[in-house]
Amino acid sequence: MGISTSSHGRGVVEVVMDVPPVNALTVQGWFDLADAVRRAGRAPETRVVVLRAEGRGFNAGVDIKEMQATAGFDALVGANRGCYEAFAAVYECEVPLIAAVHGFCLGGGVGLVGNADVVVAAEDAYFGLPEVERGALGAATHLARLVPQHLMRAMVYTCRNVTAAELHAFGSVLEVVPRERLRDTALEVAAQIAAKDPYVIRRAKESLNGIDPVDVKRGYRFEQGFTFELNLMGAGDRHRDGFVAERSS
């Protein structure tokens, strides 16, 4: 369990999150994920990376219980830095990265998926940012790559979720398939990309990032500044304590 990497030949590498019960990553988990994605993309034999998860859902964001159980601000700062590194690793991966999403994709999960090159999803997948209810902000930068602006704002304010089918209609999810077909579908798309000239594909990834109208790292860092303000004003701890108490009852 944890973050694992495996090769499937022909240059396709899988990076898998398996952190029960809900793939909410600890501080170290976010850094481990960033390292795994960077290593996979940097390897000269890699042509495509598939990022997926085991368990009940794709990713539930940061481990709030760890944050509230840690004295001082080390866990808060660590989670912010870890998320920043993981999201950046996905965006800067030297080859195309396909996110294969099932079940819940919340908070930090949206940060990962929003920075992916291609998204495939299971029929049961849903996406959302519960940050406002946790006394935090962040990943709207990445959500804005998945949904139109006004829906993104409504989702941030209301903590509403959207389904894979809705994202497919927007064009941000390539395919929606039954849960049991998700991994095979992701690998099939990966094989299509891996069959292309690897040098050309790497330059294509570099060029597409170069023409991106949004600086995702700068945008996310700006959002994180408001999370620290909320924490200084007490809103962060108040809402995180409430979340932990609710889950413990």
**Global pTM exceeds 0.85:** yes
The pLDDT score that the predictor gives to residue 246 is: 82
User: Where does residue 35 rank: exposed (0-12), middle (13-18), buried (19+ CB within 10 A)?
Assistant: middle
What's residue 212's pLDDT?
96
What fold characterizes domain 2-177+214-248?
Answer: 2-enoyl-CoA Hydratase; Chain A, domain 1 (3.90.226)
In the prediction, which pLDDT does 167 show?
A: 98
Using one digit for the tens of pLDDT, what is the confidence trace for 106-115?
999 999 999 9
User: Which residues, in sequence order, are bridge partners of residue 127?
Assistant: 105, 162
Let me know the angle formed at the C-alpha of 33 by 138 and 163, rounded to the nearest 5 degrees.
50
Structure tokens at 233: 């004003």
Going from N- to C-terminal start, the domains of the chain cover 2-177+214-248
Question: Which residues of the chain carry a pLDDT beneath 50?
Answer: none
pLDDT of residue 244: 85
**pLDDT at residue number 243:** 85
